[in-house]
Amino acid sequence: MTEKLNSVIMKLCKRLHLILMLIPLEPIVISDLLHASPTLDEPRIEVNSLGKRYGDLQVFKDINLTFREREIVTIVGPSGCGKTTLLRCIDGLMPSSEGEIRIDSDVVRKPREGVSMVFQHFGLFPWKTVYQNVAYGLKLAGVRKTVIADKVPYYTKLVGLEGFENSYPYQLSGGMQQRCGLALEPSVLLMDEPFAAVDAQTREILQFELLRIWGMRPMTMIFVTHSIEEAVLMGDRVVVLKGRPSSVFEVIDVKLPGPRSRETLAHPRFSEVREHVWSTLMDEVRAAEFEIER
Ligand SMILES: Nc1ncnc2c1ncn2[C@@H]1O[C@H](COP(=O)(O)OP(=O)(O)OP(=O)(O)O)[C@@H](O)[C@H]1O
Ligand SMILES: [Mg+2]
């Protein structure tokens, strides 16, 4: 049983590794990596005075953030504060109501090449097959129509879904659905609770695997999570959203030594930041729970 579990986890890690190794970035010279401080990198994404309304509901307002070329920024905030909405605005899938987002200085008005989103619920259209979902993802990622048909089988095979091209999402396991959602070529990776659906042990393995791969091919990664531990472990900076409508309450520079590993979890700075984020969010979480109970 344990052997079987280990082999499943190893397979999952290998696939995650393969997928992320595909991320097309400038070749990285190891000596550059050793000397480059991510904090010195130029801003890649700028979010300026961003606000979003759904009809009468003002979800967030006046959000100002910058994301650098090589950093992982994690975002935490109470359920419903607009984390997914913010990622969709950055992705260009959804227009904002106020303000603007710039990626590489260009205002985002539609999905752009190289910016990929891993959705909370895998982002698969239930009425599309695996083939059609991957093709649509490639289209959103800006891949030319004429080459999509050639690329789909390659990506489907790469993420281990060969033979499932004609299956619909409901016919796939959760892990398979997520792999299908990952079959894109990102240079900016927007992750919406990517590990929420896996068990605790697999989650921990995938967190470290993702960090290790990121260390080899750093990129701009914005990572939304409900887990404060995950936010502190994965993030160079942690953004705390709070309030109704929400806005950025705090951006915490995590300043934990890298590379992050299991030992990081025992580092005094880890507990310090975790407790800080926890107490910051406590009131909001309590208020949200109270509302659910009512
Ligand atoms: N398409 C939509 N139309 C109308 N309201 C929406 C839409 N999408 C989201 N909302 C509302 O906007 C608010 C923010 O939703 P969003 O999904 O961005 O929050 P979230 O922070 O990602 O929540 P969670 O932590 O539960 O994933 C919620 O109140 C939600 O009900
Ligand atoms: Mg969400």
Given a cut of 50, the residues of the chain with pLDDT beneath it are 1, 13-14, 17-40, 120-122
CB atoms within 10 A of CB 71: 20
Question: Cβ < 6 Å from ligand 1: which residues?
Answer: 54, 59, 77, 79-85, 120
Q: Where are the beta strands (DSSP E) in the chain?
A: 43-54, 57-68, 71-76, 98-103, 106-107, 115-118, 188-192, 220-224, 237-242, 247-253
Q: How far apart are CA 278 and CA 227, in angstroms?
A: 10
What's residue 138's pLDDT? 74
Domains identified in the chain, total number: 1
Cα distance between residue 75 and residue 220, in whole Å: 13
C-alpha of residue 84 to centroid of ligand 2, in Å: 4
Residues in the chain: 294
Q: What integer pLDDT is reported at residue 274 of this predicted model?
A: 97
State if pTM tops 0.85. Answer: no
Dump pLDDT digits (tens) for 77-103.
Answer: 999 999 999 998 998 889 999 999 999
pLDDT of residue 35: 36
pLDDT the model gives residue 189: 83
Q: What is the CATH number of the domain that holds 37?
A: 3.40.50.300
Please state whether the peptide bond connecting residue 153 to the residue before it is cis, i.e. omega within 30 degrees of 0: no
**Nearest ligand, CA of residue 226?**
1
Nearest 10 degrees: Cα torsion 138, 140, 145, 149: 20
Output the pLDDT for position 238: 98
The C-alpha atoms of residue 189 and residue 69 are separated, in whole angstroms, by 11
| Residue owning the nearest CA to atom 23 of ligand 1 | 80
Q: How far is the CA of 230 from the centre of ligand 1 (A)?
A: 21
Residue 271 confidence (pLDDT):
97
- Segment 108-153, tens digit of pLDDT: 998 877 776 665 444 566 678 888 888 877 776 667 888 888 888 8
Which residue, judged by its Cα, is nearest atom 11 of ligand 1?
80
Work out the number of other CB atoms within 10 angstroms of the CB of residue 277.
Answer: 22
- Domain of residue 263 covers 2-293
